[in-house]
Amino acid sequence: MLEESEMAVLSLSDYPSAPEIIEDGKTFFENALKKARIVSEYTGEMVIADDSGLEVDFLEGRPGIHSARYSGPDADDEKNIQRLLQELKGVPIERRGAAFKCVLVLYNPDGIYESFEGTLRGEIAVSPAGSEGFGYDPVFIVPEYGRTVAELSPDIKNKISHRAKAFKKLKKSLRQHVK
């Protein structure tokens, strides 16, 4: 068993020559699993990887796995939001349901893995509001708060987000294995 002083949490930036990973899966799970497997094989370590994005009901799940590059090769947050709002132009709020989704994969060097999903349901606003956060946060309304994610404090966002929910499930699983 490892002593606490022997354990460390590292990021991919601690491995500057790690291979580049092409996210070509058809689902968040496939992309997260691929990233975790490749990095684990490269480092020989246990790895946590994720993939996440926005799924809009009216758009049949788009932008989905293409969330970060939704507006094309030169995509940025503003361009992605503008494309999304253009595609939803004239769509009433009751048909603008959406979800932020996150899939985490905990991958062991022996090839055994677990996955954990977190979802935050909401609606897409007609126009951006707020300055906190990134990505689609300025147009994603959280109904319980009546505000966009970009209008919520980082403290609240870190409690209710799709990533927070996925990490909560991961933490629960780790506690069960470590007893």
Q: Which are the catalytic amino acids?
A: 51
Q: Tokens standing for 101?
A: 């989704």
| Nearest alpha carbon to residue 36 among 55, 26, 23, 53 | 23
Q: Which residues of 51-69 are buried (b: 16+ CB within 10 A; e: fewer)?
A: bbbbbbeebeebbbbebbe
Strand partners, 56: 98
